Amino acid sequence: MKRIPEPELMDDPEQARAYALADFSEPHQAFIDHFARCFPRHRPRRVLDLGCGPADVTIRFARAYPDCEITGVDGAEAMLAFAREAVAATGVAGRVRLCHAYLPATLTGVETVDTVISNSLLHHLVDPAVLWQTLTQLSAARTAVFVMDLMRPPSEQTARELVQQYSGKEPEILRRDFYHSLCAAYRPDEIEAQLRATDLARRLQIEVVSDRHLIVWGELAC
């Protein structure tokens, strides 16, 4: 099926609320578990989370790696409001910084990151090169990169079935968003082409990890 883009920023307060209150424990814990599997020896210290949204992944990552400090970046103030609340309610507030920035942007204070993570940002981007160029700009010796996203299914019918299977009991606004996100997601072959257009193809690998998710991961060089 042809890709149907969706709006980049999740700046609508109702949409942000529905997303922030949803239970993403299964895919978000899978994000942490896949990271640990891909980087068994890496000890994250300074981490950047691109498109952090309400910071559920950010907080899980901070808990999983107690020695790290994380900067979460998002362009939607509505999402960051929920992120601030969530971070304040946890024991990781001293290690998590939230930053309002619309990518592509010059990010300050993240020059020495050793880890870049991103969950479900790529499919929002009108120009996916924005993510890959941001990574290239941040590239330092042995920066661990871990991106997870949805994968576009072969047909709208399959997208509807996935929505029913995984968010059948969620509010309508969330089911609608999930459907739109599946339709906007990139396929592995498209991501491969995106990486080939940069220097990253040699560094990052793509792996399908579920019926609706893929990961892109590897180490950047200088």
Ligand X SMILES: C[S@@+](CC[C@H](N)C(=O)[O-])C[C@H]1O[C@@H](n2cnc3c(N)ncnc32)[C@H](O)[C@@H]1O
Q: Is 53 in the site for ligand X (CB under 6 A)?
A: yes
Binding mask 77-116 for ligand X (x = CB under 6 A): --x----------------------xx-------------
C-alpha 119/C-alpha 125 separation (Å) is: 12
Binding segment for ligand X (CB under 6 A), chosen from 4-12, 133-141, 166-174, 186-194, is 4-12
C-alpha 200/C-alpha 67 separation (Å) is: 28
List the one residue from 1, 4, 9, 129 that touches ligand X (CB under 6 A): 9
DSSP string, 166-196: HHTTS-HHHHHHHHHHHHHPPPHHHHHHHHH
Q: Is 10 in the site for ligand X (CB under 6 A)?
A: yes
47 vs 57 by CB, closer to ligand X: 57
Q: Is 8 in the site for ligand X (CB under 6 A)?
A: yes
Q: Which residue is nearest to ligand X (CB)?
A: 53
Binding segment for ligand X (CB under 6 A), chosen from 120-128, 132-140, 151-159, 190-198, is 120-128
CB 38 within 8 A of CB 146: yes
89 vs 221 by CB, closer to ligand X: 89
List the one residue from 74, 95, 178, 191 that touches ligand X (CB under 6 A): 74
C-alpha 73/C-alpha 48 separation (Å) is: 8
Binding segment for ligand X (CB under 6 A), chosen from 34-42, 73-81, 155-163, 195-203, is 73-81
List the one residue from 18, 76, 191, 200 that touches ligand X (CB under 6 A): 76
List the one residue from 47, 48, 52, 220 that touches ligand X (CB under 6 A): 52
Binding segment for ligand X (CB under 6 A), chosen from 45-53, 61-69, 154-162, 166-174, is 45-53
Which chain residues interact with ligand X by CB under 6 A?
8-10, 51-53, 56-57, 74-76, 79, 102-103, 119-121, 124-125
